[in-house]
Structure 1
Amino acid sequence: MSVTFAIVGSGWRSEFFLRIAAALPDRFAVTGLVTRSAETAADIERRFGVPGHPDLDALLAAGAPDFVVVSVPRDIAPGVIVDLVERGIPVLTETPPAGDLDALLALWERVARPGAPTVQVAEQYHLSPLLSAQLAVARSGRLGRPSQALVAQCHDYHGVSVMRRALGVGAEDALISASVFRSPLVAGPGRGGDPTEERIVIATQTSARFAFGDDRLGRYDFAGEQYFSWIRGNRLLVRGERGEIENAEVRWLRRFDEPAFDSLRRVMTGEGGNLEGMFLRGILLGDEWVFRNPFLPARLNDDEIAIARMLDGMPRAIDGGGDVYSLAEASQDHYLALLMQQAAESGEPVRSSRQPWADRIAVDAVAG
């Protein structure tokens, strides 16, 4: 039986959910979408066969989904989340769940009560194939206990989320310092496609240091222009006392005098003379699968695979069987990212403090 969900919002991110449901009709079904634009509603119905509705009342009157995806701006999202929870409907909300710390605290107060429907957050990066494989290596024991992580993958709370998981950090306090560096960069493609002329933009790069006690260090390094740039690549480095993973390369000690070296390898179909279709089968480290695609043979990109994994995990989260990515985790990651921005703007280190959601963050959930 397929998972049913509805969507509030009709922006760029909403179409990811629509495309995934269209590619996996046996797994997911979208019951409807809320948009204020009649023109957008007609376009969505024409392209995806999903009916549009002007408001939440009309959406829910047309049928009760298993949960609702909230994909609206961060200043609007808390009100929609609270409305759904008060109606008894589980939520998967886009990141971040609220704009600032006060809004996070207010949202937590309203929806994190015992017995309330679950609120999960659509943080997909740690579920994407390559990062999922890299994090699996980090927690496999090959590296020993991870003590250092450099994340140059994604912005703000996304990068913090990957960093915490790489280090196995839960809600521990951090001392955060940060700085900003601006430099010229030839613009790459964007959401609308390839560039049509050479154009120089100023890339704003934030570099930050997160000291979690005396034995774990996270480093963040990212400029927003990196997302679509052809000449600014992603990087991940995780180090423990017995080894390290640096992007696709893994180096570790089988024993003190026996080093081992291997690489992560993507296994794709549709290349050369392969006639299986076009999809990712998984990622290997030597002869070990460190990631297997659960949605083959659907033709999904890595980001869509990650989002599909969130959708697939929602029934389990609703039944209390384990979080997809909890509101507690999302709140902590956004809180730390806000402190990073504060440190970058002021030039002074800041220290985090324990927040109301801290007890809901389990280290095993962070590592999973």
Structure 2
Amino acid sequence: MEKIKFGIIGHGWRADFYLRIARELPERFEAARMLVRREETAAALRAAWGVAVYRDLDAFLADADLDFVVVSVPWDVCPVYIRELAARGVPVLAETPPAPDLAGLTALYEAVGGEAKVQVAEQLLFQPMHAARIALARSGKLGDVSQAQVSVAHGYHGISLIRQFLGVRFEEAVVSGQRFVSPIVEGPGRQGPPREEIVKDSSQDIVFLRFGDKLGVLDFTGDQYFSWIRRERVLVRGPRGEIIGDEAAWLQDFRTPVVLKLRRIDNGFDGNVLGFNYGGILLGAEWLYVNPFVPGRLTDDEVAVATSLAKMGDYARGGPSFYSLAEASQDHYLNLLVQRAIAEGATVTAEKQAWHPRS
């Protein structure tokens, strides 16, 4: 398997995922160089990661021989780099969202959408348990999935997962929702566990997205990403069965139910000496998901990001699209409608956009 060699524009909490993955899986990935604005940041990155760091785009790209470039910068800057790299013929894996608002999404897609090699790093659908649920939802066991309730991630992330479960792409959507504020004891964050008890407000968005005869429910509070006491919830439902969390039930025939757990198979516990990682997710005797990065020691989110990197490497070399600029634009557009519906207390309907397939 040929190593994937990529560059990174930008630095921050998210960009560190790519660096950790390349360090953990050096036979698969190489973070060859980075582009940042500040010299002190460049010096710190060189010292911490041993990566070549540049402060000028021309120097960053010169004689680089990169498969693609990851763009991990603030929302308003992201489309600038996407357009510049596309103009130079450089494949791009952009962080979400690709532009901050509808005008930006439209301008970006009209500039590069139909021609340039651009994908977006929406990793949620590649997290192992979600990937297993998506595989089961598409297997036919549940019948034609008509409802997905997702309490996993905010905005466009959660919407992307809803679309995957429901099997919808650019269909008309009718959106409504509300925000509920309640108290919560503050939990961990990016800096680690709390140091004292603090009660704060917690905002919960509850949103309904109707895609014709299919329903998506997005229910999320931002505390869920780190909280010990706010867990994720997923329900996927069809006429013959459903998935609730890590349990699935469906009808073998009209009088024979099947009920099974989506069981995560971990390595490295008790007498298992296969390394500290996991093999995949089983449904009975069927592997719904097999971890492609064993024996790497990666979190689920790192596995998902690594999957995006692997798929991007394949895409840059002529392989299939996996999460296109059009899909990313649609998910963020729906997210913008969600925010509008909540703010106005109104029901809003999605309109045809520049990235929608031409009929």
Partner of 1:210 in structure 2?
209
Counterpart secondary structure, 2:150? strand
Partner of 1:232 in structure 2?
230
Cα deviation for residue 319 of structure 1 reads: 3.7
Partner of 1:366 in structure 2?
none
1:317 corresponds, among 315, 318, 321, to 315
Cα shift readout 1:329-368 (whole Å, capped 9, x = no counterpart): 000000001001000000010000111212189xxxxxxx
Do the aligned partners of residues 360 and 330 (structure 1) sit closer, same or farther apart at CA in structure 2, a change above 3 Å counting?
Answer: farther
The residue type equivalent to 1:80 in the other structure is Y
CA distance in 1, matches of 2:313, 2:295: 22
Cα deviation for residue 277 of structure 1 reads: 1.2
Cα shift readout 1:101-129 (whole Å, capped 9, x = no counterpart): 00000000111233x3x110000000010
CA distance in 1, matches of 2:23, 2:46: 12
Q: CA RMSD in A?
A: 1.2
Partner of 2:85 in structure 1?
84
The residue type equivalent to 1:207 in the other structure is I
Matched, 1:354 2:352: yes
CA distance in 2, matches of 1:166, 1:360: 24
Superposition pairs of residues 89-104 of structure 1, within 5 angstroms: 89-104=90-105
| Alpha-carbon contact 1:152-1:235 (below 8 Å) kept | yes
CA distance in 2, matches of 1:147, 1:61: 50
Superposition pairs of residues 108-123 of structure 1, within 5 angstroms: 108-114=109-115, 116=116, 118-123=117-122
The residue type equivalent to 2:106 in the other structure is L
CA distance in 1, matches of 2:110, 2:339: 24
Following TM superposition, where does structure 1 have runs of at least 4 consecutive aligned residues deviating by more than 4 angstroms? none
CA distance in 2, matches of 1:279, 1:312: 19
Cα deviation for residue 315 of structure 1 reads: 2.8
The residue type equivalent to 1:345 in the other structure is A
CA distance in 2, matches of 1:299, 1:353: 44
Partner of 1:267 in structure 2?
265
Cα deviation for residue 285 of structure 1 reads: 0.6
The residue type equivalent to 1:190 in the other structure is G
Matched, 1:248 2:246: yes
Partner of 1:284 in structure 2?
282
Cα deviation for residue 35 of structure 1 reads: 1.1
Q: TM-score, normalised by structure 2?
A: 0.98
Partner of 1:54 in structure 2?
55
Matched, 1:64 2:65: yes
Partner of 1:73 in structure 2?
74
Do the aligned partners of residues 318 and 8 (structure 1) sit closer, same or farther apart at CA in structure 2, a change above 3 Å counting?
Answer: same
The residue type equivalent to 1:89 in the other structure is V
Query: Which is worse superposed, 34-43 or 142-151?
Result: 34-43
Matched, 1:155 2:163: no
| Alpha-carbon contact 1:8-1:71 (below 8 Å) kept | yes
Counterpart secondary structure, 1:171? coil
CA distance in 2, matches of 1:317, 1:329: 16
Cα deviation for residue 144 of structure 1 reads: 0.4
Cα deviation for residue 62 of structure 1 reads: 5.1
Partner of 2:187 in structure 1?
188
| Alpha-carbon contact 1:21-1:30 (below 8 Å) kept | yes
| Alpha-carbon contact 1:328-1:360 (below 8 Å) kept | no
Superposition pairs of residues 169-188 of structure 1, within 5 angstroms: 169-188=168-187
Aligned length: 358
**5+ residue gaps, structure 1:** 362-368
CA distance in 1, matches of 2:114, 2:206: 36
Do the aligned partners of residues 172 and 310 (structure 1) sit closer, same or farther apart at CA in structure 2, a change above 3 Å counting?
Answer: same
Partner of 1:12 in structure 2?
13
Q: TM-score, normalised by structure 1?
A: 0.95
The residue type equivalent to 1:161 in the other structure is S
Partner of 1:364 in structure 2?
none
The residue type equivalent to 2:226 in the other structure is F
Query: Which is worse superposed, 32-41 or 278-287?
Result: 32-41
CA distance in 2, matches of 1:175, 1:87: 39
Matched-pair identity in %: 51
The residue type equivalent to 2:331 in the other structure is D
Cα shift readout 1:53-86 (whole Å, capped 9, x = no counterpart): 1121121125231110000000110001101011
Counterpart secondary structure, 2:178? strand
**5+ residue gaps, structure 2:** none
CA distance in 1, matches of 2:119, 2:102: 18
Counterpart secondary structure, 1:210? strand
